[in-house]
Amino acid sequence: MDFVFKFQLMDAAGINRALSRIASEIVERNCGSRDLMIIGIRRRGVPLAERIVKKIEELEGIRPSLGTLDITLYRDDLSTVDVKPVVHGTHIPDPVEQKTVILVDDVLYTGRTVRAALDELMDFGRPKKVQLAVLVDRGHRELPIHADYVGEKIATKQTEIVKVMLEGYDETEQVIVVEQKER
């Protein structure tokens, strides 16, 4: 499939500022960083969660625990796909009981990924609270799900794709919007 570049939503500095703000909002709303667990949803949610953890540690001096969630096994569209998606594995470092869990993902779109993540998280126990942090909220929800911390909220067309590119994964760090070329 071919894509046409539309515009740049954030550059590297913009991403960094958004994550700093999200980190301080998390600390403010939860009165510090005790009992916090930051869990990144694979794939791009994982590096974002790592950065948020680092920023919270800088702010508060306490490092929240960091986890990884692979929601592949909880997807609601597995029976319709022919070639099975690769499973990378989930890692939850501590018991989730009594913890405030912050789920981190790059883009919030239909809400189906977050639904799957919530279901998987609940199979590990009963966290005290679960909140959601995303770098970009692009609308078009198909489920009653909303984000607690948002880097940037934009209106998009369904034919558009929001690409979050991060250092270590992609060549340049930025968030861009591209559109599928009409045939």
Partner 1 sequence: MRRKDLLGIRELTVEEIETILDTAEAFREVSRRNIKKVPTLRGRTVINLFFESSTRTRTSFEIAAKRLSADTINISVATSSINKGETLIDTARNLEAMVPDAIVIRHPSSGVPHQLARICRNTSVINAGDGAHEHPTQALLDALTIREHKRTIRGLEVAIIGDIAHSRVARSNLHLLTKLGANVRVAGPRTLLPPEIGRLAESRPGKIVVTSFVEEAIEAADVILLLRVQLEREASAHFPSLREYASFYGLNAKRLQLARKDVIVIHPGPVNRGIEVASDVIDGPYSLVYEQVTNGVAVRMAVLYLLMGGNKLDAVKEVHEATHQERAGSRPVTTTTDAS
Local structure of 153: helix, strand or coil: strand
- Residue closer to partner 1 by CB (options 21, 75) is 75
Using omega within 30 degrees of 0 as the cis cutoff, is the peptide bond preceding 34 cis? no
What phi, psi does 5 have (nearest 5°)? -70, 130
* Near partner 1 by CB under 8 A: residue from 33, 104, 107, 120: 120
- Quickly count helices (H) and strands (E) in the chain: 3, 8
Handedness of CA 106, 111, 116, 118 (dihedral sign): positive
In the complex, the smallest distance separating the C-beta of residue 84 from partner 1, rounded to whole angstroms, is 5
Residues 58, 95: Cα–Cα separation, whole Å = 24
Q: Which stretch binds partner 1 (CB under 8 A): 13-21, 50-58, 117-125, 152-160?
A: 117-125
In the complex, the smallest distance separating the C-beta of residue 65 from partner 1, rounded to whole angstroms, is 17
* Window 77-106: contact mask with partner 1 (x via CB under 8 A): -xxxxxxx-xxxxxx---------------
Which of 77, 129, 76, 124 is closest to 103 using CA atoms?
129
- Residue closer to partner 1 by CB (options 80, 168) is 80
Diameter over CA atoms, the chain: 54
Size of site (CB under 8 A) for partner 1: 21
Are 155 and 139 within 8 A, CB to CB?
yes
Local structure of 68: helix, strand or coil: strand
* Near partner 1 by CB under 8 A: residue from 21, 47, 124, 145: 124
- Residue closer to partner 1 by CB (options 68, 156) is 68
- Residue closer to partner 1 by CB (options 90, 100) is 90
Q: Would you count residue 73 as binding partner 1 (CB under 8 A)?
A: yes
Contact residues: partner 1, CB under 8 A: 70, 73-74, 78-84, 86-91, 119-120, 123-125
